Amino acid sequence: MDAWKAGAADLERTAAALAARIPAELSGLARLAYNYRWSWAVGGPRLFRAIDPHLWEVCSENPVRMLWEADATTLAAAASDEQVRARTAELVDLLDRDVAREADGDRAHPVAFLCTEFAIHRSLPIYSGGLGVLAGDILKEASDGARPYVGVGLLYRQGYFRQRLDPSGWQHEYWTEERPERLPAALVTGTDGAPLTVTVPIHGREVVVQVWRVEVGRVPLFLLDAQRRENALVDRWITSRLYVSDRRLRLGQYALLGIGGVRVLQALGIEPSTYHLNEGHVAMAPLEVTRRLVSEGRAFPEALASARTATVFTTHTPIAAGNEAFTPREIADVLGTLPADLGVDLKEVLALGRAHPDDADEPFGMTPLGLRGSAAANGVSRIHGGVARAMWRHLYDQAEHDEQVPIGHVTNGVHLPTWMAPAMRALLGRTLGPGWEARASDGLWAALDSIDDAELWEVRGILRRELLAYARERAATDRLGRGEPVAYVEQALHAFDPDVLTIGFARRAAAYKRLYLLTHDPERALRMLEGERSVQMLLAGKPHPQDEEGKRIVQGVFELKWAPHVSERVAFLEDYDLGLASRLVSGCDVWVNVPRPPLEACGTSGMKAGMNGCINLSVLDGWWDEAYDGTNGWAINAHVGNDHAALDAQDANALYDLLEQQVIPAFYDRDPDGVPRAWVQRMRASIRSVALGFNAGRMLADYRARMYP
């Protein structure tokens, strides 16, 4: 089977079935709906929204579901709309041309990118945060660059949890079930027309998985799904929820993806040149490659060495809890006959996940396994590379210094067409010319200087106003959902001033992100909300369901909700996701990030903000330490130490000082035309430096140059 064809006919058939239900003039829409390429095409989201804005929202911007559910009148109206038809034809043409381009690389041997989460679009809720966004952005960038990649992940029917807060600010979680038949995905069938399946030995049972194909431009994403009748109920649950809380099931997920992912690729006829393991969860993949080589007659050490040469591993977290480890018993249980298949003792397999192979009590770490199973490994920023070398030096006997530990770094980047707001893309397009996103070189970026201050400032105003209109409705809806008094709900509808400096803070609400620094000195924080030159603030973030500390931190912010000005100047927007993120990073003026150094491995939301001219104010940790140059934002020095209370007080003070003495005056200091010249200067520096240095194209080029075999 041609590697790139696996499941392609199934997608075509599925799209044809949808085309048959909608007016013939719109049949191109069915084709568009089944390839996420529309989501980063200029005018793509607008086209679908125009058909039925309300239904579009109800369907979480899932075009397949919307087109299936739209009634005949709506579809007829769209079919007779000249603009919809013209836009559809344009986008179909764009898609055709995009897919027809010659590949830059060997299509017969793509990079297989394995990850537990992929954030492609909010309508495919199989992600939780930054790790997934990175994975999604890598696939999109690979598509734009015509690089041969395939993604491999899991299709979680219930995805990640949805967030609902109560009036005290305490988080409650709920899950909703997706019907994959209504996702832009098709079940891959075999030559017999039945769904193609693969079995994966997990906990002594043969778990049957089927495979869905999702189109991400030119890149296929294959998602494994254990919801098969043959499977025991408990085994079906393996692909229910992202990072399912039960340890045994979660380990089952890692085995299903690591071992099953390799098997599925083989069943699809895909022979990767490289397995890129994104984070420790998928670290079992090289064991399966080794098993295959052993079954072909090779000896274990040689087979493992061979599997390793084709494998690259990226570690993402300096937080101990993020580097999961399991007991020898748990590992023995999940792997079953794997050691025997490899012709070795269990102990030899366990040694791959341990620092001291002879210590029978030492747990088995997924990150050590990833490091031992790969020929090259990297952290995700310069600082994080160093942190990872120190963290894992004990695995390398021969390394006497951290510098000798073979872990490098590739600093993350974000997919510019996904994260730059349409209004900003259009403004730059007018100056830089069509297709500028693919040619973001120095020469072109010099042209950025020719854009008028007033024009840049005007776009900022448009984006801020769009965000605030959205935030008003969303805040009011959240308040209704929490059962707040109606008077308080209505305050949200009149909240936020389109001319006031708007600060954003949104991220996974893990404790080390220190959301609480914003209110560390409540009186000083509240003072900034009042007067002529005030600020307003939009917050969002989801603590992990088991993260009680994170939940208390979110709740802490709510303690101020009845203080003066808070209800009309501050909102915590619930259920942070890709859609909310893209509005916040483009609409806010300042993006605040105050992680406890050195725990921010990289951070990517600030990159999304920076390329939109939303200026970063951040601790010099992760990516900001590389990006900050004194002209493109504001910085808080990184102080590492154990006295957290003292460091928190110091950093909160630095944050307030910067806001009061620099940020607020610069924003309100206008020339006679009403333009804050110094502010716009900083915006320009931010857009240029971030879009050039921290876009995903640079990241992929780095992976190619430094990491891939």
Ligand X SMILES: *Cc1c(COP(=O)(O)O)cnc(C)c1O
Q: How far is the CB of 130 from ligand X (least distance, A)?
A: 3
* DSSP-assigned beta bridge partners for residue 410: none
Gap between the terminal Cα atoms of the chain:
25
Q: Closer to ligand X at the Cβ: 7 or 541? A: 541
The pair of three-digit structure tokens given for residue 704, joined into one six-digit string: 């190619």
Q: Which is nearer to ligand X, 201 or 603 (CB)?
A: 603
Beta carbons within 8 Å of 567's beta carbon, 6+ residues apart: 488, 491, 492, 495, 561
Could you tell me which of 624, 683, 618 has the C-alpha nearest to residue 464?
683
Residue 274 or 412: the one with the smaller Cβ distance to ligand X is 412
Pick 409 or 507: Cβ nearer ligand X: 507
DSSP readout, 539-568? EE----TT-HHHHHHHHHHHTTTTSTTHHH
Identify whether the C-beta of residue 636 lies closer than 8 Å to the C-beta of residue 651.
Answer: yes
Give me 390's structure tokens.
């120190």
CB of 440 to ligand X, least distance (A): 20
Distance CA 140, CA 438 (A): 12
Structure tokens at 368: 């050590």
Smaller CB separation from ligand X, 135 or 427: 135
Bond prior to 598 in cis (omega within 30° of 0)? yes
Nearer to ligand X, 478 or 484 (CB): 478
CB of 578 to ligand X, least distance (A): 5
Least distance CB 383 / ligand X (angstroms) = 14
CB of 85 to ligand X, least distance (A): 33
Alpha carbon 230 to chain centroid distance?
33
- Nearest to 148, CA basis, from 289, 36, 4, 278: 4
User: Least CB distance from residue 312 to ligand X, whole Å?
Assistant: 21
Give whichever of 372 and 507 is closer to ligand X, judged by the CB atom.
Answer: 507
For the chain, state the CA radius of gyration.
Answer: 25
Annotate 491-535 with three-state secondary structure: HHHCCCCCCCEEEEEECCCCHHHCHHHHHCCHHHHHHCCCCCCCE
Measured CA to CA, the distance from residue 693 to residue 412 in angstroms comes to 10
For helices 44-51 and 72-79, angle between their N-to-C axes, nearest 10 degrees: 130
Q: Which of 484, 625 has the CB closer to ligand X?
A: 625
Please give the sequence-ordered ranges of beta strands (E in DSSP) within 135-227, or none if there are none: 149-154, 162-165, 171-174, 186-187, 197-202, 205-216, 219-225
Nearest CB to ligand X, comparing residues 148 and 595: 595
Q: How far is the CB of 124 from ligand X (least distance, A)?
A: 13
Cβ(148)–Cβ(220) under 8 Å?
no
DSSP bridge pairs for 187: 212
Residue ranges that bind ligand X, judged by CB under 6 A:
129-130, 133, 507-508, 576-578, 581, 603-606, 608
Q: Which C-beta is closer to ligand X: that of 514 or that of 569?
A: 514
- Smaller CB distance to ligand X: residue 131 or 259? 131
| DSSP string over 339-386 | HHHHTS-HHHHHHTT-SSTT-TTPPEEHHHHHHHT-SEEEESSHHHHH
Nearer to ligand X, 464 or 507 (CB): 507
Distance of closest approach, residue 132 Cβ to ligand X, in angstroms:
8
CB of 137 vs ligand X, minimal distance in Å:
9
Nearer to ligand X, 263 or 384 (CB): 384
Residue with tokens 């052993």: 294
Q: How far is the CB of 621 from ligand X (least distance, A)?
A: 11
CB 384 within 8 A of CB 318: yes
**Which is nearer to ligand X, 334 or 581 (by Cβ)?**
581
CB of 603 to ligand X, least distance (A): 4
CB of 119 to ligand X, least distance (A): 7
Would you tell me how many other CB atoms lie within 10 Å of the CB of residue 514?
24
Kindly tell me which of 225 and 279 has the beta carbon lying closer to ligand X. Answer: 279
DSSP state of 414: B
Q: Give me the least distance between CB of 572 and ligand X, in Å please.
A: 15
Q: What whole-number distance in Å separates Cα of residue 593 and Cα of residue 588? A: 13
Residues belonging to the chain: 709
Phi, psi of 505 (to 5 degrees): -145, 110
Residue (222 or 623) nearer to ligand X, CB: 623
Burial of 567 (0-12, 13-18, 19+ CB in 10 A): buried
Tokens of 530: 């009042």
Nearest approach in angstroms of CB 481 to ligand X is 20
Q: Are 611 and 420 in contact (CB under 8 A)?
A: yes
Q: Provide the minimum distance between the beta carbon of 415 and ligand X in the complex, in angstroms, as a whole number.
A: 11
CB of 577 to ligand X, least distance (A): 5
